[in-house]
């Protein structure tokens, strides 16, 4: 199982919203920020980098590696969150 990592979302003091481009590079999703459509990829270890677009050259810091846990425990800790699970 491959573990996920969490990156910050603040750029110039403002929270940035990301989406997936639908493309992958080296088995990793390419993201874009919804404000400028800049393309982001974790090119350097521990950083999410804007590869092209208005924010090219910007980086987002690595924050944490989420703790793997059973779904029931997640729901106890984060009752207000939404969790996507595959249909059976």
Q: Among 27, 36, 37, 33, which residue's Cα sits nearest to residue 48?
A: 33
- Give the pLDDT band of residue 21 (cuts 50, 70, 90): very high
CA distances (Å), origin 47, targets 6, 68, 73: 10, 21, 29
Record the tokens describing residue 83, joined without a space: 């969790």
Residue 1 pLDDT level (bands cut at 50, 70, 90): very low
- Reading the block at residue 77, the tokens are 């800790």
pTM: predicted TM-score of the whole model, two decimal places = 0.67
Q: Give the distance from CA 38 to its chain's centroid.
A: 14
Two tokens, residue 46? 């521990």
CA 85 to chain centre: 18
């Amino acid at each position: 199982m491959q573990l996920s990592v969490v990156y910050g979302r603040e750029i110039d003091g403002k929270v940035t919203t990301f989406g997936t481009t639908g493309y992958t590079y080296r088995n990793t999703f390419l993201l874009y920020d919804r404000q400028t459509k800049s393309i982001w990829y974790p090119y350097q270890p521990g950083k999410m980098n804007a590869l092209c677009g208005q924010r090219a050259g910007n980086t987002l810091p690595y924050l944490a590696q989420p703790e793997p846990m059973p779904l029931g425990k997640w729901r106890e800790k984060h009752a207000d969150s939404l969790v996507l699970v595959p249909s059976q």
